[in-house]
Amino acid sequence: MKKFLNLAIVFVLALGFVLVAAPQAVQAESESTPYLAGVAEGAWSWTGSSLTGTPVTGIEVSVDLDASPSPSWLQLLTGGIKIDGPATICHPFRGGQFGWQGEIRQLVEGKWVRLVTTNAWLPDEEGTFTACANASASGTYALFGYYDGPAVPYATCSYNTDAWTAGIGDFDLDQTFDLSFWLFAPDLPAGAQAAYAVLRIDPAGSFTGALTGTGTKYPADHMWSGFIDFLDDNIEFTPEASSVLVRFWAGNCTKDFIISLAQD
């Protein structure tokens, strides 16, 4: 009954690296490994060759974070790519446009070692926002990330954020059950603008929809006075969803909420 907002990413790759082999691509995702929806959907692509000129090959692999955990502040954003030689590897990274920082890491003796990663538009601003790194050897790689969008220090906040609450609801009353986030901020003036960003979900991959959004506080005489909703940014989550960490900005204040995603 709820509407999914499908996020599609068209992968356009053009690199200026001096490499012999032609670019190749593989979809390195599987149903057994969930990821945060909308941040880095798409396929791995790589360009490289051995000393003899043989093109580097690659295959998709599952990432087992139980066996080889990543640092706690990182979210796994893609499946793994296993290559048999040095190459420049890239992956679409839509979330990089919205405050996410991407890190391509190599699995080395059970640990994920960070590579120097470039997050940029390729081939230019008409192309696709992409995370790339130079993989110097054969091995298994994956894209991780964390949210590092704008945040206003609490010390500068002029409102009572202790009175703020947030959640998920259907505010449009049209019986379509289009879910969206809402923020209740009673001390903000009517017409105040607000924004949100999804920072993390549990489990990864159980949330689909708008990772960021904006809304306006209802006027004082409205039935939902005190509320700010984000009706243009529909969300959806799967039955196994547990919770989502969301950051809200309003006025000169910011506050994070852990919102339950448990479905009735």
Which tens digits make up the pLDDT trace of 219-247?
988 888 899 988 776 788 878 888 888 98
Say which residue the tokens 């209802």 belong to. Answer: 218
Dist. CA 262–CA 264, nearest whole Å: 7
Quote the pLDDT of residue 204.
72
Quote the pLDDT of residue 37.
57
Q: What is the CATH number of domain 154-260?
A: 2.60.40
Hey, what amino acid is at 73?
A: W
CB atoms under 10 Å from CB of 147, counted, come to: 22
Quote the pLDDT of residue 38.
66
Q: What is the 3-state secondary structure (H, E, C) of 179-213?
A: CEEEEECCCCCCCCEEEEEEEEEECCCCEEECCEE
- What would the pLDDT profile of 167-209 be if each residue is shown by its tens digit? 988 765 544 557 889 999 999 898 888 888 888 888 877 777 7
Quote the tokens at residue 157: 């906040």
Quote the pLDDT of residue 107.
96
pTM confidence score: 0.54
Hey, what amino acid is at 235?
A: I
User: Which residues of the chain register pLDDT less than 50?
Assistant: 1-22, 27-34, 152-155, 174-175
Q: Domain residue spans in the chain?
A: 24-147, 154-260
- Dihedral of CA atoms 208, 213, 218, 223 in degrees, nearest 10, equals 0
- How far CA 155 is from CA of 54, 152, 160, 254, 256, in Å, comes to 58, 8, 12, 10, 15
Q: What is the 3-state secondary structure (H, E, C) of 85-122?
A: CCEEEEEECHHHHHCEEEEEEEEECCEEEECCEEEEEE
Quote the pLDDT of residue 2.
32
Backbone angles phi, psi at 256, to 5 degrees: -100, 140
